[in-house]
Amino acid sequence: MTKIIAVLGCGLIGLSWAEAFLKAGFEVQCWDPNAAVQSQIDALQQKIEGAQISYFADVKDAVLGAEFVQESCPERLDVKQAVYQSLEGALGVGAIVASSTSTIMPSDLQRGLSYADRFVIGHPFNPPHILPLVEVVGGALTSEATVQKAYDFYALIGKQPIKLNVERMGHLANRIQAAVWRESIDAVASGQASVADVELAVTAALGPRWALMGQFETFDLAGGAGGMANFLGDIGTAIEALWDDAQRPDMTDELKAKIIAETQKLVGEREFAKKMERRDEFLKVVLAAKS
């Protein structure tokens, strides 16, 4: 595979992807409709010694010579499709286009493209230059070879990709996250707990375990020496009963105002850049400890 990767869309996710590709030793060609991102691209080049990264005002120029394209444009079907259509005639033969979309399904995105068989979802988690998971999802027109090549590419740069065999809105990890978010909002809406208490329930109990093991391994341990079989036959029944009153909270303006106010009190007045820096350093420590 060529050493050139194209990054289309240079917001938080796109620039983070660019950093990941640069650190993996690839040359990165960037495009964004806002030329002001040039300063951030320059900063990234200075941050990584020997980095080869450049900005192109024309999206067609950005994909020339690239065999892998990572698109991270705004989460709108029409915007993304317009970008894909503009690549017709400029995309190299065999080049794969991967979208970072977190909610739109690949079959919708690839519709009408001459290179639809080379289109795939490569959904990262923020920030992509640190977190290893990438969800790889093909659409109805995506070839199995494309899915495998995308999977292999992400593994090559040090990611931990997973193949999803069924298209679902939100893919996998975000659906799990959405379920936790639903319960978190419901706790605040019902008056069961404050925003701060819900956060603590995660960071002081669930989060530390989740950094090491997921629900299946966690509940396997909960089953004692009998493992998952024991859990499903005993404790699992009690856990399943908690599904019965699960509901979608009514996100009223009053509830939104409450959540915003309590969250602001929780996170304080730190600048956005400082918040990201704190998160990134903590994630590096957690991932290092896990390895």
- Local confidence band at 2 (pLDDT 50, 70, 90 cut-offs): low
Domains and CATH numbers, the chain: 4-164 (3.40.50.720), 173-290 (1.10.1040.10)
- pLDDT for position 74: 96
pLDDT value at 284 more than 50: yes
Of 26, 28, 27, the C-alpha closest to 15 is 28
Residue 52 has pLDDT above 90, yes or no: yes
Model confidence at 90: pLDDT above 80: yes
- Written as six digits, the tokens of 84 are 């894909």
Which range is least confidently modeled, 110-114, 234-238, 279-283?
Answer: 234-238
Task: Place 88 in a pLDDT band, splitting at 50, 70 and 90.
Answer: very high
pLDDT of residue 255 exceeding 90? yes
What is residue 204's predicted lDDT score, i.e. its pLDDT?
A: 96
pLDDT at res. 290: 85
Residue 26 pLDDT class (50, 70, 90 cuts): very high
Residue 32 CB-density burial (10 A; 0-12 exposed, 13-18 middle, 19+ buried): buried
What is the rounded distance in angstroms from the CA atom of residue 135 to the CA atom of residue 210? Answer: 18
What is the structure's pLDDT at 1? 47
**Which pLDDT does position 201 carry in this prediction?**
97
Q: How confident is the model at residue 41 (pLDDT cuts 50, 70, 90)?
A: very high
Mean local confidence (pLDDT), 15-28: 96
- Mean of the per-residue pLDDT values of the chain: 94
Reading across the β-sheet that carries 4-8, which strands appear in turn?
53-56, 27-31, 4-8, 68-71, 96-99, 119-123, 133-138, 160-164
pLDDT at 54 over 60: yes
- pLDDT over threshold 60, residue 44: yes
Question: Residue 4's Cα: distance from chain center in Å?
Answer: 22
Mean pLDDT of 64-91: 96
Cα dihedral 40, 46, 49, 50 sign: positive
Length of the chain: 291
pLDDT, tens only, 139-176: 999 999 999 999 999 999 999 999 999 999 999 999 99
**What integer is the mean pLDDT of 46-62?**
94
